[in-house]
Amino acid sequence: MARVKLPDGSIREFTDGVTVAEVAAAIGPRLAQAAIFADVDGAPADLSRKLAGDVALKIHTDSAAEGVDVMRHSTAHILAEAVMRLFPGTKLGIGPTIEDGFYYDFEVARPFTPDDLPVIEKEMEKIIAEKKRFERVDLSKEEARKAMAAAGQSFKVELIDELPGDSVSFYRQGEWTDLCRGPHLPETGRVGCFKLLRTSAAYWRGDQAKASLQRIYGTAFAKKKDLEEYLRRIEEAEKRDHRRIGKDLDLYSVHEEAGAGLIYWHPKGALVRYLVEEFWRQEHLKNGYDLLFSPHIARAHLWETSGHLGFYKENMYSPITVDEKEFYLKPMNCPFHILMYKNRLRAYRELPFRWAELGTVYRYEKPGVLHGLLRVRGFTQDDAHIFCRPDQVEAEICRVLKFVLHMLRTFGFKEYEVYLATRPKEKSVGRPEDWAMAEEALRRALAKENLAFGVDEGGGAFYGPKIDLKIKDCIGRSWQCSTVQFDFNLPERFALEYVGDDGKTHRPYMIHRALLGSIERFFGVLIEHYGGAFPLWLAPVQAAVLPISDPHVAYAEEVRDRLRAAGFRVELDARNERVNHKIREWQLQKAPYMLVVGEREAAQKTVAVRERTGEQSTLGLDALLEKMHPRLRERV
């Protein structure tokens, strides 16, 4: 008998050889209809998997994230078959699922165009309507290699050669077959709603030296309303693209002739950055931090000691030679702060040291991943390092977590996800017991602050585990900004010490933390979160004074000067243009307040207020200031 243990702990008995689909049907028709795939003894399996003996079974449905992920992977296979039908001779790359969708890479005779996508979608709909079963086929590696070579699928041959073991699995849908480990839907007809989104160029295995491919992105959902909501979010995200808004509002630019991935801050963007950084500095001073400045380059020996040349060299720029010695641009600030700590012997009563720096660092990113402000090669890191005694670690981490949430909430981010990232499987340093101790310290701090968290297995830094906070913007997208990292490695490498109350030297621990991440990336996130309509305290121009005609300019200047004297950033638009034209332009510039003045306003010493929200009123200057000051003071 097959004794099937279900997630609720109950056990059901069936004849050996029963399939997962039959078990689902025995449990109930609704489950049978919604089932996508299953975990059998913790391993993913198709619904056609036969069961025998004692097994633990969990059935995933089309309403669960895991089930939707499998649906998307099956849709990627349908996409590949459709492309092969329409473009004979196509070579197949890979087709994984990604967050919110999937993609598939192809080598084709010509690049795809947007006009190709509706044609491919129609062919996919035909394949879905055919309700072809997904069937797993296992072949020896030699058989698989011969079959793919005969079909001219050289990329698949390369993948087969790299797979472990003596056999590989394929999935067949009708006459079409693809290399895949599965699992898949029972049949093509189980795909809910799908949409192809865009095309792009890609390199095989992400290597610029290898073949150039064409990538098609798509998504799939079980229900039409979910797909429609996703497409609405995409449309909204395109409207909020920080690259377009940054250009429209004249905030920053990137100049390829001077170097990709380097940001040029224009006056308005530089002003917003100044406001962010000044708030950052003020809050750090309030929270017991000291501010530092450190150089931009250092000798190779420093980066050898820190381990960066061993673990991070591919992200560092080539060295420059000074006085016959090699120097590197800094990718991190931490070794510089360590040198300052080592400047003299420290005593236990001095600890903790909380040292913060807005330090500009340089990291090599491949051209294909550079993306506006979000992925750059030179950026200013919101950085700090805390040197503390072992008995201070938990309290300091709790203190940092409170500080993180305060900062994020002030900038308008109310929702977030928290993850504990553990030891990487490769490229990590330190003893297992040190990692276990550090991870436990982070867990205790999260519990103490009542923060629910997920575990990112293997996602830690090479020198220690970390806590990552992903903020959610106003349309529900997640952004990685804040991180709190435990480090027992660098204090050991640099032989950091302090004198304890016993008169002996001891090794301090080190906490790396960033509240905002990089200033560039955070600024890009802010732009997209607010759609360029920054809150009053961050708006580069808080109010525009718009005289209706030349005779009203003198009073407009009086309004401007009064607001400036009260601490507001105000511009006077005295151009010889119709006032409605000026209002429209300042609306496009996202100004929080537009203050129209004409003959009546000048006589009554008032202004006609048009707020960015659409609200209109007529106010005296004192009443206007009473309205603006609380919004400025409360940072709303």
Which residues are known to be catalytic? 334, 363, 381, 383, 385, 466, 512
CB count within 10 Å of CB 5 equals 15
| Residue labelled with tokens 């090479």 | 462
Rounded Cα distance between 305 and 312, Å, is: 12
In the 8-state DSSP scheme, what is residue 518? B
User: Over the range 404-430, which residues count as b (16 or more CB within 10 Å of their CB) and which as e?
Assistant: bbebbeebbbeebebbbbbbbeeebbb
């010695």: which residue's tokens?
325
Terminal alpha carbon distance of the chain: 65
CA angle 93, 96, 100 (to 5 degrees): 140
Beta carbons of 69 and 58 less than 8 angstroms apart: no
DSSP for residue 387: E
Give 318: exposed, middle or buried? Use CB within 10 Å, 0-12, 13-18, 19+. Answer: exposed
Helix (H, G, I), strand (E, B) or coil at 353: strand
Decide: 74 and 134 in contact? Cβ < 8 Å.
Answer: yes
Helix 141-150 to helix 154-162 angle, to the nearest 10 degrees?
170
Q: Are 25 and 34 in contact (CB under 8 A)?
A: no
Q: Are the C-beta atoms of 263 and 380 separated by less than 8 Å?
A: no
Other beta carbons within 10 angstroms of residue 211's beta carbon come to: 15
Residues 6+ apart with CB under 8 A from 201: 111, 212, 213, 214, 215
| Burial class, 589, CB count within 10 angstroms (exposed 0-12 / middle 13-18 / buried 19+) | buried
Instruction: Map residue 3 onto helix, strand or coil.
Output: strand
Parallel/antiparallel/unpaired status of strands 593-597 and 454-456: unpaired
What CA–CA distance (Å, rounded) separates 562 from 570? 10
Alpha-carbon torsion (366, 369, 372, 373), positive or negative:
negative
The total number of residues written for the chain in this structure: 636
